[in-house]
A = this chain, B = another copy of it.
Amino acid sequence: MATVDDIGVAATFNIVTAIAFLLAFAFLRLQPINDRVYFPKWYLRGMRESPSSAGVAVSKYVNLNMRSYLKFLSWMPAALKMPEDELIDHAGLDSVVYLRIYRTGLKIFVPITILAFAVLVPVNWTNETLESMKVVHSGIDKLSISNIPNGSKRFMTHLVMAYVFTFWTCYVLMKEYENVATMRLRFLASEKRRPDQFTVLVRNIPPDPDESVSELVEHFFLVNHPDHYLRHQVVYNANKLADLVEKKKKMRNWLDYYQLKSERKSKRPTTKTGFLGCFGSEVDAIDYYKSEIEKIGKEEAEERKKVVKDPKSIMPAAFVSFRSRWGAAVCAQTQQTSNPTLWLTEWAPEPRDVYWNNLSIPFVSLTVRRLIIAVAFFFLNFFYVIPIAFVQTLANLEGIEKALPFLKPLIETPSVKSFIQGFLPGIALKIFLIVLPSILLLMSQFEGLISQSSLERRSASKYYIFLFFNVFLGSIITGSALEQLNTFLHQSANDIPRIIGVSIPMKATFFITYVMVDGWTGVAGEILRLKALIMFHLKNSFLVKTEKDREEAMDPGSICFYWSEPRIQLYFLLGLVYACVTPLLLPFILVFFALAYVVYRHQIINVYNQRYESGAQFWPSVHLRIIVALIVSQLLLLGLLSTKDFEESTPALIVLPILTFWFHRYCKNRYEPAFVRNPLQEAMRKDTLERAREPNFDLKAYLADAYLHPVFKSDLDGVDKFYVADDPGAEEVIVATKRQSRRTTPVQSKHDGSSSDRLLLPESVQER
Check A674 against B491 for contact (C-beta < 8 Å): no
Interface window among A161-169, A333-341, A382-390, A722-730: A333-341
A677 contacts the other chain (CB 8 A): yes
Interface window among A31-39, A207-215, A661-669, A702-710: A661-669
Q: Which of A338, A494, A495 has the most CB of B within 10 A?
A: A338
- The docked-state distance in angstroms from the alpha carbon of A491 to that of B491 is 10
Given the complex, which residues of B lie within 8 Å of A681, measured CB to CB? 223-224, 336-338, 343
Interface size on A, residues (CB 8 A): 41
Check B679 against A338 for contact (C-beta < 8 Å): yes
CB distance from A204 to the nearest CB of B (A): 12
Given the complex, which residues of B lie within 8 Å of A375, measured CB to CB? 658
Given A491-B492, A493-B493, do A335 and B333 touch, yes or no (CB 8 Å)? Answer: yes
Instruction: Considering the complex, give the chain B residue whose CB is closest to the CB of A181.
Output: B338
Check A677 against B335 for contact (C-beta < 8 Å): yes
Given A367-B666, A493-B494, A669-B367, do A329 and B334 touch, yes or no (CB 8 Å)? Answer: yes
Check A334 against B495 for contact (C-beta < 8 Å): no
Check A367 against B665 for contact (C-beta < 8 Å): yes
Instruction: Considering the complex, give the chain B residue whose CB is closest to the CB of A492.
Output: B492
Considering only residues 331-359 of chain A, those with a C-beta below 8 Å from chain B are: 333-338, 340-341, 343
A50 contacts the other chain (CB 8 A): no
Check A340 against B673 for contact (C-beta < 8 Å): yes
A114 contacts the other chain (CB 8 A): no
- Which of B185, B224, B336, B658 makes the CB contact (< 8 A) with A338? B185
Instruction: Considering the complex, give the chain B residue whose CB is closest to the CB of A189.
Output: B338
Check A335 against B492 for contact (C-beta < 8 Å): no
CB distance from A370 to the nearest CB of B (A): 8
- The docked-state distance in angstroms from the alpha carbon of A584 to that of B223 is 58
- Which of B330, B340, B343 makes the CB contact (< 8 A) with A334? B330
Check B334 against A680 for contact (C-beta < 8 Å): yes
- Which of B185, B371, B672, B674 makes the CB contact (< 8 A) with A662? B371
A678 contacts the other chain (CB 8 A): yes
- The docked-state distance in angstroms from the alpha carbon of A329 to that of B341 is 18
- The docked-state distance in angstroms from the alpha carbon of A682 to that of B343 is 13
Given A224-B684, A665-B367, A669-B367, do A679 and B337 touch, yes or no (CB 8 Å)? Answer: yes
A671 contacts the other chain (CB 8 A): yes
- The docked-state distance in angstroms from the alpha carbon of A684 to that of B221 is 11
- The docked-state distance in angstroms from the alpha carbon of A604 to that of B571 is 62
Given the complex, which residues of B lie within 8 Å of A298, measured CB to CB? none
- The docked-state distance in angstroms from the alpha carbon of A677 to that of B491 is 47
Given the complex, which residues of B lie within 8 Å of A684, measured CB to CB? 223-224
A227 contacts the other chain (CB 8 A): yes
- The docked-state distance in angstroms from the alpha carbon of A301 to that of B224 is 49
Given the complex, which residues of B lie within 8 Å of A335, measured CB to CB? 333, 673, 677-680
* Chain A 365-378 interface 0/1 with B at a Cβ cutoff of 8 Å (1 = within): 00100010001000
CB distance from A654 to the nearest CB of B (A): 12
Copies of this protein in the assembly total 2
CB distance from A764 to the nearest CB of B (A): 46
- Which of B491, B493, B669 makes the CB contact (< 8 A) with A341? B669
A250 contacts the other chain (CB 8 A): no
Given A224-B681, A224-B684, A662-B371, do A674 and B492 touch, yes or no (CB 8 Å)? Answer: no
A700 contacts the other chain (CB 8 A): no
Given the complex, which residues of B lie within 8 Å of A185, measured CB to CB? 338
A670 contacts the other chain (CB 8 A): yes
Check A674 against B340 for contact (C-beta < 8 Å): yes
CB distance from A24 to the nearest CB of B (A): 46
CB distance from A741 to the nearest CB of B (A): 30
- The docked-state distance in angstroms from the alpha carbon of A677 to that of B341 is 13
- The docked-state distance in angstroms from the alpha carbon of A678 to that of B491 is 51
- The docked-state distance in angstroms from the alpha carbon of A510 to that of B375 is 40
Given the complex, which residues of B lie within 8 Å of A495, measured CB to CB? 492
Given A341-B669, A669-B341, do A336 and B494 touch, yes or no (CB 8 Å)? Answer: no
- The docked-state distance in angstroms from the alpha carbon of A670 to that of B491 is 41
- The docked-state distance in angstroms from the alpha carbon of A673 to that of B165 is 41
Instruction: Considering the complex, give the chain B residue whose CB is closest to the CB of A340.
Output: B673
CB distance from A224 to the nearest CB of B (A): 5
- Which of B334, B338, B493, B494 makes the CB contact (< 8 A) with A674? B338
Given the complex, which residues of B lie within 8 Å of A338, measured CB to CB? 185, 674, 679, 681-682
- The docked-state distance in angstroms from the alpha carbon of A185 to that of B662 is 36
Given the complex, which residues of B lie within 8 Å of A494, measured CB to CB? 492-494
Given the complex, which residues of B lie within 8 Å of A665, measured CB to CB? 367
Given the complex, which residues of B lie within 8 Å of A367, measured CB to CB? 662, 665-666, 669
Given the complex, which residues of B lie within 8 Å of A334, measured CB to CB? 329-330, 333-334, 677, 679-680
Given the complex, which residues of B lie within 8 Å of A678, measured CB to CB? 335
Given the complex, which residues of B lie within 8 Å of A329, measured CB to CB? 334
- The docked-state distance in angstroms from the alpha carbon of A338 to that of B186 is 10
Instruction: Considering the complex, give the chain B residue whose CB is closest to the CB of A659.
Output: B371
Q: Which of A330, A670, A674 has the most CB of B within 10 A?
A: A330
Given the complex, which residues of B lie within 8 Å of A658, measured CB to CB? 375
- Which of B227, B340, B669 makes the CB contact (< 8 A) with A671? B340
- The docked-state distance in angstroms from the alpha carbon of A385 to that of B224 is 55
- Which of B336, B662, B679 makes the CB contact (< 8 A) with A680? B336
- The docked-state distance in angstroms from the alpha carbon of A529 to that of B665 is 45
Given the complex, which residues of B lie within 8 Å of A371, measured CB to CB? 662
CB distance from A682 to the nearest CB of B (A): 6
Given the complex, which residues of B lie within 8 Å of A337, measured CB to CB? 679-682
Given the complex, which residues of B lie within 8 Å of A492, measured CB to CB? 491-495
Given A223-B684, A491-B492, A665-B367, do A333 and B336 touch, yes or no (CB 8 Å)? Answer: no
Given the complex, which residues of B lie within 8 Å of A666, measured CB to CB? 367
Given the complex, which residues of B lie within 8 Å of A674, measured CB to CB? 338, 340
Considering only residues 675-704 of chain A, those with a C-beta below 8 Å from chain B are: 677-682, 684
- The docked-state distance in angstroms from the alpha carbon of A519 to that of B681 is 54
- Given A185-B338, A340-B670, A492-B494, 17 more A-B residue pairs with CB atoms under 8 Å apart are A223-B681, A224-B680, A224-B684, A329-B334, A333-B334, A334-B677, A335-B673, A335-B679, A335-B680, A336-B681, A337-B680, A338-B674, A340-B669, A340-B671, A340-B673, A371-B662, A492-B495
A-B contacts, 27 listed (Cβ < 8 Å): A185-B338, A223-B681, A223-B684, A225-B680, A329-B334, A330-B334, A333-B334, A334-B679, A335-B677, A335-B679, A335-B680, A336-B680, A336-B681, A337-B682, A338-B679, A340-B669, A340-B670, A340-B673, A340-B674, A341-B669, A341-B670, A367-B666, A492-B492, A492-B493, A492-B494, A493-B493, A494-B494
Residues in chain A within 8 A of chain B (CB atoms):
185, 223-225, 227, 329-330, 333-338, 340-341, 343, 367, 371, 375, 491-495, 658, 662, 665-666, 669-674, 677-682, 684
